[in-house]
Chain A
């Protein structure tokens, strides 16, 4: 499909991958301000509602820096000093933080320039970006459908060519799943690899920042400028070695495991759409043709991962969101009433229904008499899931699954039933609980809609994981430009 009529120079700029653009910027072959303006104009004209804020003008760029002035879109829940950071919520409408998130500073420190803040499900709670106080985001492949969530804005923006790349966050799948639904690459790194300083918290023990990119190489490049130990984050870890740019041409010697508990045996209906299933199987065959071995593996506690997740995440969220009380920043309602009314009405007005549901769920799971049965038990399930993965990685290099059980669904299709929405995450949540890295790459189309393939590896295996994904990506040869605005 041809790009819409535009100045040839502009489309050429947009066609460059981030890595290509960085190289040309450093070589002074293209101009950073021109590149920025090309994207800025497209972001301004955004009809997907992907952006909540777009820069007025190009910031100064440094052509000597590794990322040399390549524009970057950032999910709204990253604090960006002086720039609205609202986490998709009315309760933070207009909030401008006095400091910047570490991962954002890392990327801009390496030369990336802030193009805009992207729309998201409120406080990262959602799988469709229909929970935003600023309206839903549309999928560029089909504007009647959702882009996935919670990082729907970032995913849609990359998929539509409104930005070369973007930051998202992944707590239970919020990078990987929108990447799959939008036909782009999304990486959730090892828990701790990216600093959480300045990332507005949803579920502290699960949240991770990660890149959305058009291809795996760009993903490796951006991730390498996000990771790093941060003394301001006590859960931050240093990567044992820098993230390598991928080069693998095949998958010789790579052992891929297909978890039976998530995908069912042959012929079993595991709740995965037929088209997605077909694509998954085809991708496995492709992997074999590249030299990989594919076998069934076992994650005995994986069927309980979703339940454990929907206790742990809301519980932590109920505490993380308690600070939104109208006292120091953000929305305040009924400031002249008594304290309790001010608190309760501010929060009732400022939070959307999904956030309220999860706060209630989390509060209940932690409350007196229920802690052991719910939260306490869920933490034990997490132990078992981590053990399951460790055992599997003794025999397999990577675990593979379809990223999402279905392709992009229609707006409104799953909003009536919260539980139905939660089921989106059953293939991504186990990796979140275990804190291991996962990458989703586009593996084809099903009825014209993108399908994502997920690879997950042991903790801190990013370079190897990315390399394997790259080899597969090259063989798949997916063309995402069809969704470009």
Chain B
């Protein structure tokens, strides 16, 4: 039985930048534990020596020439911005540990 501890839920929520209230933390712990318990069954399989598949399509070496393509008009880009400032995107400044 896989159980996700509260501390783990909080840690994952921090990595994922999701603010959860107390009820959510509890519920998330229960729900995720249940799902993880189910998906955990793949660990029963003997997969020694099996290579992983990242792509279902058998392609490699796909590249493009170093040629300029038209870019977007700045007004268009900033039209969707929550805080357009001086031609850029305004945000709260990162703190020292945010890097």
Contact = CB atoms under 8 A, between A and B. Distances in A.
A377 B46 CA distance: 10
Interface residues of A, number: 72
Contacts of B34: 417-419
Given A235-B55, A435-B56, A361 B35 contact: yes
Contacts of B38: 307, 310, 419
Interface string A99-123: 1000000000000000000000000
B16 A359 contact: yes
B32 A205 contact: no
Given A380-B52, A381-B47, A433-B56, A361 B19 contact: no
Nearest to B44: A304
B53 A95 contact: no
A380 B51 contact: yes
B81 to A, nearest CB: 6
A357 B77 contact: no
A192 B57 contact: yes
Interface in B22-63: 24, 28, 31-32, 34-36, 38-43, 45, 47, 50-57, 59, 62
Given A301-B45, A380-B47, A96 B28 contact: no
A338 B17 CA distance: 13
B1 interface: no
Contacts of B16: 318, 322, 347, 359-360, 363
Contacts of B4: 364
A379 B57 CA distance: 14
Contact of B35 (A344, A347, A422, A435): A422
B82 A335 contact: yes
Interface stretch (A266-274, A324-332, A403-411, A442-450): A324-332
A342 interface: yes
A378 B36 CA distance: 13
Interface string B54-89: 111101001010000000100011001111000001
Contacts, number: 173
Main secondary structure on chain A at its contact with chain B? helix
For chain B, give the interface size range. 35 or more
Contacts of A59: none
B48 to A, nearest CB: 9
| Max chain A Cβ within 10 angstroms of own Cβ: one of B8, B17, B55 | B17
B80 A96 contact: yes
B30 to A, nearest CB: 10
B15 interface: yes
Nearest to A190: B57
Interface in A329-348: 329-330, 332, 335-345, 347-348
Given A98-B72, A307-B38, A378-B42, A327 B51 contact: no
B52 A311 contact: no
Contacts of A359: 16, 18
Given A335-B92, A345-B19, A351-B18, A364 B32 contact: yes
B45 A418 contact: no
A374 B57 CA distance: 22
A14 B41 CA distance: 49
A190 B40 CA distance: 28
A340 B13 CA distance: 12
A11 interface: no
B91 A339 contact: yes
Contact of A379 (B12, B19, B52, B95): B52
Given A99-B72, A380-B53, A382-B56, 16 more contacts: A205-B56, A237-B59, A307-B41, A310-B39, A330-B80, A335-B82, A347-B18, A348-B19, A356-B24, A360-B12, A364-B32, A367-B12, A377-B43, A380-B50, A380-B52, A386-B56
Interface of B: 4, 8-9, 12-13, 15-20, 24, 28, 31-32, 34-36, 38-43, 45, 47, 50-57, 59, 62, 64, 72, 76-77, 80-83, 89, 91-95, 98
